Amino acid sequence: MRLSKRLISTLIIILILLTLLFSYGYVDSSVSYKYEVQADQYAGLVLNNHQKEIIKDITNSKDEALACILLMIAAITVSINEPTFKGKIIYT
């Protein structure tokens, strides 16, 4: 498989944008948790479906952002090491 610098750079930019998007989702869900869920949990009330979805969104957004960060690190590593294998990746 042949990789070009342009492809790797485009991939890194896309991963940065996705990381920002999922990080925003994490922060937004965390704020929603603080104002909509936390008080009911402290009071010992049963959570409704909307509140359960907020908690689920927090974990999903965090996992997605971390996955994008790991993929970005992998893409940057390939970008840095690319001259050593001259654009060819051989899978064994």
Residues ≥6 apart with Cβ < 8 Å to 33: 54, 55, 58
Please give the structure tokens belonging to residue 18: 């996705």
Is the pLDDT reported for residue 90 higher than 90?
no
Q: Is 11 in contact with 64 (CB distance < 8 Å)? A: no
CB atoms near residue 32 (< 10 Å): 18
Strand partners, 88: 2
> Predicted confidence band at 39 (pLDDT cuts at 50, 70, 90)?
confident
Q: What is the pLDDT of residue 13?
A: 92
pTM of the complete model: 0.75
> Predicted confidence band at 46 (pLDDT cuts at 50, 70, 90)?
confident
Q: What is the pLDDT of residue 40?
A: 84
Is the pLDDT reported for residue 86 higher than 90?
no
Residues ≥6 apart with Cβ < 8 Å to 53: none
